[in-house]
A = this chain, B = another copy of it.
Amino acid sequence: MGVSIVEVARRAKVSRMTVTRVMRNDPVREETRKRVLESMRELSYVPSLAARAMRSHDTLRSSRATCFALVFGVDTQKADEFFCEVTRGVEKQAAEFGLCALQVHWLEDVKDSWLRMQAVLSIGGLCGVILAGQFRAGEIRSIQKVNPNIVIVDSPVPPGVKVPGVESDNIGGCRLAFKHLLQCKVKNPVVLAGPKEHYFSKAIAGALCDYRRQFESVRIFNTDYSMESARKRINRLVEEKVGFDAVFGNDTLCVGAMRALAEHGMQIPLQVKVVGFDDIPACQYLSPSLTSVHIDKQSLGGEAVKMLVALVRDGKMSGSVKLPIKAVLKKRETT
């Protein structure tokens, strides 16, 4: 069913190797090259990555590899728009390098999922792996066995593993948010964090160390990043007449929160200020538009690719490089 290099060679009356050379732009007589190219076209030859991969363990870091895997961790599904943007950044940069990104979601709850993942990652022609989201040290080590070129994006590298990575400055971003809330004379903010062990939640805790004292009260709630959980939470607070004058959380959560506030006829920003995090595209188009801490998600992805390429090219990276992507506050109508 597939056309092999041998058939192309036969048709062009040359050997397999010459065909390979043509593909590689190695020196071949012009006339021969033309015959081969024509032969490839006519048979609509597609090289078999599988076969290439067989010679892989040495080929892996060769210039021929055309793909890398972009693996999404377990919790990444909720934060849609965020990772969509990261992915876009990855793909743009990948295209720049002539690479192709194979995306895989890792679903924790499915049996054998992990084994299948590993098998996928050992597919030939994969020059490396970018991990997006949260991974445990053991998981990373497993992956390293299968493919040594790993870059981790938007997640703190767990202790005990050495992996280069790109990281948004979440703590710095949270600080900006709190500082801004203070400037807005907020006294009793409600903070909507993600799941307990999550990067974002920890960053919030980190940033609060510096600012907590300056507020009268700070209420923190963990959520699953869904709009619904934010809406419910805020609804409950309002119904229980808990006093608060601001909400801070990621953009998705803020959308849910704003809905709840609207349902109760509360004025934004008059009665309650709202500050988001991530600055997803929709922020500008909400009414009122959402003040948010901007993270350059595309850079996050793009830089990860650059790092991966460097890693592949130079063989090794100097230790556990962390490239921070800085956060910027975008003031809009909710504050």
Contacts and interface: CB of A to CB of B under 8 A. Distances in A.
Nearest to A148: B1
A105 B113 contact: no
A285 B227 contact: yes
Given A53-B50, A119-B46, A122-B46, A103 B104 contact: yes
A81 interface: yes
Interface in A45-71: 46-51, 53-54, 56-57, 66-67
Given A100-B113, A119-B66, A54 B49 contact: no
B227 A256 contact: no
Interface string A241-259: 0000000000000011011
Contacts of A102: 102-104, 120
A177 to B, nearest CB: 21
A56 B50 contact: yes
A319 interface: no
B120 A44 contact: no
A101 B95 contact: no
B51 A54 contact: yes
Interface in A13-71: 44, 46-51, 53-54, 56-57, 66-67
The list of the 3 closest CB pairs from A to B, nearest first, reads: A50-B53, A50-B124, A103-B103
